[in-house]
Structure formats: C-alpha cells, structure tokens
Amino acid sequence: MMARPVPSAQEWEWLQKNPLKIITRPALPPSRDRRMSSDETDQMVYAAGSDYSTKILRTSAAFLFAIETGLRAGEIAARRPENIDLEHRVAHLSHTKNGTALNIPLSVRAIEILKAMGNFNLTTKQISTLFRKIKNRCFRQNVFPVDSVKIDTLCSDG
C-alpha cells in the first residue's frame, strides 16, 4: 500500500531513507493440496441431515456441487437457472472472482444435484456459515480429524 508513495516522497526529497526497506512481508500461508476423501464427504453429507426444506441440507448439496464443478461459494450463490444448459451440460458464469465469464462443464452428478435441488436459494455468507456448522457437527461426532478438512471451494470468499 505504501510501496508507491514512499519512493515518490524520496524523489521529492520529503524523505531521506525508505522506512519500508526494514519491514519484511509476512510469509504466505501454505497452500491446500489435500482433497477430502469420499468417506469424509459422505460423513459431511450425513451430518447435514435429510430434511430437504432446511438451508443446512441445501448447503450440503451446494458443497457436493462445489466438489463436482470446482465453483466457489459466491459463484454457486450467484448461479441462476437460466445460466444452466442441461442439454449441453454447461453452466455459464457471467461474473467470476477474476472478472471473466466462464462456461463450466457439468458432470452427471452435478446435473443430478441441480435436478434434485433446483435453486440452492443461499447467499455466499449462508453457504460459508452453514458449511462450518456442518463441519463442526462432524468434529463433535469425531467423524474425522479437524486438520483433514481443507475445502477451498466453500471456505474461501466467493
């Protein structure tokens, strides 16, 4: 944030030395390179329950849809039925995190989820919050170790 103004201040002789030279940037966190096993995924879905009218179950379906498509929570929340082409098995995203439009191929399982759920009717915040709630249910039941859940698609801000 100060990388541009400080050199300019030096150039204009407002500063003699660059005070930012002694500051080191924090290290980047380690990347997430582990995917959930199918057993862990099944246990997350089981922890969500079976009442199709609840937001927590719709979040579970969104979680499965994210695994199938690689979409982020925000992209799932922004998805509209008119942007789904079931005949060609493609979801069109007009707004993505990087600002470009994308066509995402849909697997057979992704299409099954869409047909079963219709629209998820969830916001990005609801998906993130309820996903954590499902995850916490699994932890209380000792379903799997805490450090094994690393789902970038739903924990990151969409």
Q: How far apart are CA 114 and CA 119, in angstroms?
A: 7
- Cα radius of gyration (the chain): 21
% of the chain at pLDDT higher than 70: 82
Q: Between 64 and 51, name the one with better pLDDT.
A: 64
Comparing CA positions, the residue from 89, 46, 90 lying closest to residue 64 is: 46
The per-residue pLDDT of the chain, averaged, comes to: 79
For 14-38, how does the pLDDT look when each residue is reduced to its tens digit (9 = 90+)?
Answer: 777 877 777 787 888 877 666 777 8
Q: What is the pLDDT of residue 141?
A: 53
Q: What is the pLDDT of residue 62?
A: 92
Q: What is the pLDDT of residue 112?
A: 93
**Rounded mean pLDDT, 48-63:** 85
Burial class (CB in 10 A: 0-12, 13-18, 19+), 58: buried
For 75-112, how does the pLDDT look when each residue is reduced to its tens digit (9 = 90+)?
Answer: 899 888 889 999 999 999 887 777 888 899 999 999 99
Lowest mean pLDDT among 9-13, 43-47, 126-130: 9-13
Is the predicted pLDDT of residue 155 greater than 50, yes or no? no
Q: Which tokens go with 141?
A: 């039941």
Spell out the domains of the chain, with CATH numbers in brackets: 38-144+150-154 (1.10.443.10)
Q: What is the pLDDT of residue 143?
A: 44
- Angle subtended by helix axes 38-48 and 55-69, to nearest 10: 160
